[in-house]
Copies of this chain bind each other. A is one copy, B any other.
Amino acid sequence: MTATFTEVDTYDVRFPTSRFLDGSDAMNPFPDYSAAYVVLRTSDGDEGHSLVFTVGRGNDVQVAGVRALASLVVGLDVDEVLDDLGAFSRRLAGDSQFRWLGPDKGVIGMAAGALVNAAWDLRARRANQPLWQLLASLSPEELVGLVDFRYLRDALTPEEALEILRKPGREERATQLLREGYPAYTTTPGWLGYDDEKLARLSKEAVADGFAMIKLKVGGDREADLRRLRIARDAVGPDLPIAVDANQVWGVGEAIEWMADLAPYRPYWIEEPTFPDDILGHARIREAVHPIRVATGEHGANPVLFKQLLQAGAIDVVQIDATRVGGINDNVAILLLAAKFGVPVCPHAGGVGLCEMVQHLAMFDFVAVSGTRDDRMIEYVDHLHQHFVDPVEIRGGHYVAPVAPGIGARIHESSLTEFTYPDGPAWT
């Protein structure tokens, strides 16, 4: 008898991070980092876990989205689904009625991603492999089969994707990765709600810890940005790159003007200078702020947006996010697009579980897609890791390649209970 999917359990989990201004930026002054958490269950007792990261209010809507899409999953044959996760992903994103609520964006897009990722977690656990290794073990043909090329073909054909994926040396790079890890940068010092002393102290610690870069939130107050950049530069010395992140607070012209003021401090990149959908706006900003790099992606809803950002030469850095798009399949598509256009991928992380999940994609990119870690690093933020069964490990400013099977999203049962909203002990 073959196993079927029997249930999708969901949890509305929220961490009261706003009490300490962790995660505060110009657009998100008081976030409560949250997870719409998903457990996909099978008739033979297996489980796949995943989550969608949100910042508080609305996490219940995200949970409702997952619950609704679950109706498309329950009853399906587990082996058939796991053997063709490309078809599974297309089925969830392509349902003709749910699709109206997107397509491929917002609550329903992320809900599809959560279910796709839960299925990947199950597959990786069955294979007894961490996700990066599972993906890197797939043939170029299997990987291409994961991607929906319908709207991407004008920028990347399946044949071009195959060619990228046939790059030799996967094994050597996997060995290298296991030995050396993957470079990280840290956003921990730079939250807008931290005072100058805390900024200086954490910046120095970042250097001592071996991080490749630090990142500062900007866009609240221009004088304060200049002061904080000076403090950070003094703390880290002349050589360590400092990126800045405006979290979408500016219009196009404002971004260009503001960055002209910050330019003397040589920011390594400006992240989210404006609205995430504004491809042409990013292109204009990039032209104006050169040689400062332009980075975006954590709010990039689907591969078609990334396709256009690359086609328009609008960005220097592709910031994939583990839970924003329609799951791992969409992220494989984005990695392939970035490789085709030769633009480095530096994943967005932090939040809840984003470090744990997205590291797999960056590592798979190194081993099997771009084949390089040059100009690449994964964001790291130092909180909420204690809630994860397989928390990330940072050593000498590098992510240590995870060896535990799965996609990294599993939260401790005790944390799920404590932080369930609104009835968990943390909230009552």
Interface residues of A (CB under 8 A from B): 27-32, 54-58, 60-62, 64-65, 68, 71, 95-111, 149-154, 248, 251-253, 274-281, 284, 299, 301-302, 304-305, 307-308, 311-312
Residue of A54, A58, A64, A153 ringed by the most chain B CB atoms within 10 A: A58
Known: A32-B97, A57-B71, A149-B251. 13 other contacts (CB 8 A): A27-B96, A54-B100, A56-B100, A57-B97, A60-B64, A65-B107, A103-B248, A105-B106, A151-B251, A151-B252, A277-B304, A279-B279, A280-B312
Contacting pair A278 B299 (CB below 8 A) = no
A112 CB, nearest partner CB in chain B, Å: 11
Closest chain B residue, CB of each to CB of A27: B96
Cβ-defined contact, B251 with A101, below 8 A: no
Name the distance in Å between A315's Cβ and chain B's nearest Cβ. 14
Q: Which of B57, B154, B284 contacts A68 (CB 8 A)?
A: B57
- Chain B residue, CB-CB nearest to A95: B57
Closest residue of B by beta carbon distance from A26: B96
* 19 A-B residue pairings within 8 Å (CB atoms): A27-B99, A28-B96, A29-B96, A30-B97, A32-B97, A57-B71, A57-B97, A58-B97, A58-B98, A60-B64, A61-B108, A62-B101, A64-B64, A103-B275, A103-B276, A105-B277, A151-B251, A151-B252, A153-B252
Query: Measured between alpha carbons, how far is A96 from B97 in the docked complex, in Å?
Result: 29
Min CB distance, A34 to chain B, in Å?
9
Whether the pair B65, A103 counts as a contact (CB closer than 8 A) is no
Once bound together, how far apart are the Cα atoms of A47 and B276, in whole Å? 36
Number of copies: 2
Kindly list chain B residues whose C-beta atoms are within 8 Å of the C-beta of A31.
96-97, 100
A337 to chain B, nearest CB (A): 13
A105, A107, A153, A311 interface centre (most CB from chain B within 10 Å): A107
Question: A151 — which chain B residues lie within 8 A by C-beta?
Answer: 251-252, 274-275, 278, 281
Q: Nearest B residue to A98 by beta-carbon distance?
A: B58
Q: Measured between alpha carbons, how far is A101 from B301 in the docked complex, in Å?
A: 10
Q: Which residues of B contact A102 (CB under 8 A)?
A: 106
Query: A121 to B169, alpha carbons, bound, how many Å?
Result: 63
In the docked arrangement, what's the CA distance between A54 and B307, Å?
Answer: 28
Are A154 and B253 within 8 A (Cβ)? yes
Contact partners of A106 in chain B: CB under 8 A: 101-102, 105-109, 301
Overall SS of chain A's interface: loop
Tell me the nearest residue of chain B to A255, going by C-beta.
Answer: B154
Q: A96 to chain B: which residues have CB within 8 Å?
A: 27-31, 55
Q: Which 8 A-B pairs have the closest CB atoms?
A: A106-B106, A57-B97, A107-B107, A56-B97, A64-B64, A154-B252, A151-B275, A58-B98
A56 to B108, CA, bound (A): 14
**Bound-state Cα–Cα, A98 to B27, Å:** 12
Q: Are B100 and A58 in contact (CB under 8 A)?
A: yes
Docked complex Cα distance between A61 and B108 (Å): 8
Most B C-beta atoms less than 10 A away, residue of A32, A151, A299: A151
Whole-angstrom CA separation of A29 from B150 in the bound complex: 18
Complexed CA–CA distance, A201 and B109 (Å): 40
Measured between C-beta atoms, what is the minimum distance from A59 to chain B in Å? 9
CB A351 to nearest CB in B, in angstroms, measures 10
Chain B residues near A152: list those with CB within 8 A: 251
Contacts of A64 in B (CB 8 A): 60-61, 64-65
Q: Given A100-B58, A304-B275 in contact, is the A154-B284 Cβ separation under 8 Å?
A: yes
Which B residues touch A154, using CB under 8 A? 251-253, 281, 284
Residues of chain B within 8 A of A305, CB atoms compared: 277
When the two chains form the complex, which single residue of B62, B101, B281, B307 contacts A58, counting CB atoms closer than 8 Å? B101
> Of A56, A101, A274, A311, which is in contact with the most chain B CB atoms at under 10 Å from its CB?
A101
Complex: A65 Cα to B65 Cα, angstroms: 9
Task: Give the residues in chain B near A308, CB-CB below 8 Å.
Answer: 277-281
A104 to B277, CA, bound (A): 10
Q: Complex Cα distance A272/B30, Å?
A: 39
What is the minimal beta-carbon distance from A407 to any residue of chain B, in angstroms?
Answer: 21
Contact of A150 among B30, B99, B251 (CB under 8 A): B251
